[in-house]
Amino acid sequence: MMLGFIPITFRFRGKERKLEDIYRCFRENPDTGLHPTQIARQTGIGFAEVNARLEATPELFVKLPRRPDGITRYRLTSSTTAKSDDEVMAFLNASARKESLLVYAVGTMVVCILLIVVILVGPAV
């Protein structure tokens, strides 16, 4: 998703629930590399969305080397595996909050620029 004309994509904002579901799927299948199709079936999230989330969040998920049969699998990163569920959820929420703050900062800058333009042009009209 792009924010208007500004090329910003959100990896966490608005996707915390999907990432949490994918994370829990890996926790339910420990020490197993999962294919996006398996994750999609278990979580009820569409294959394309699962694949996009896995690719977009290397902090949580790592792509395993292709097997001889050509199937690509993913697993949790070592650092994510070592964390508790609460720590991972806190990380997801903090990351989403950072992205929200970025949106608010850009919005505030645009409003300030418009306000400056109105102040400069206003007396001339």
pLDDT in tens, 57-92: 999 999 998 878 888 899 999 999 999 999 999 999
Q: Determine the pLDDT at residue 49.
A: 95
pLDDT bracket for residue 5 (50, 70, 90):
low
Which 3 state secondary structure label does DSSP give 59? coil
Looking at the structure, give the CATH architecture of the domain made up of residues 16-124.
Orthogonal Bundle (1.10)
| φ, ψ of residue 112 in degrees (nearest 5) | -65, -40
How many percent of the chain have pLDDT more than 70? Answer: 94
- Rounded to whole angstroms, the Cα distance separating 79 from 49 reads 23
8 A C-beta contact, residue 62 and residue 75? yes
Evaluate if pTM is beyond 0.85: no
Q: Tell which wins on pLDDT, 39 or 9.
A: 39
Residues 6+ apart with CB under 8 A from 33: 64, 73, 74, 75
Q: Determine the pLDDT at residue 101.
A: 94
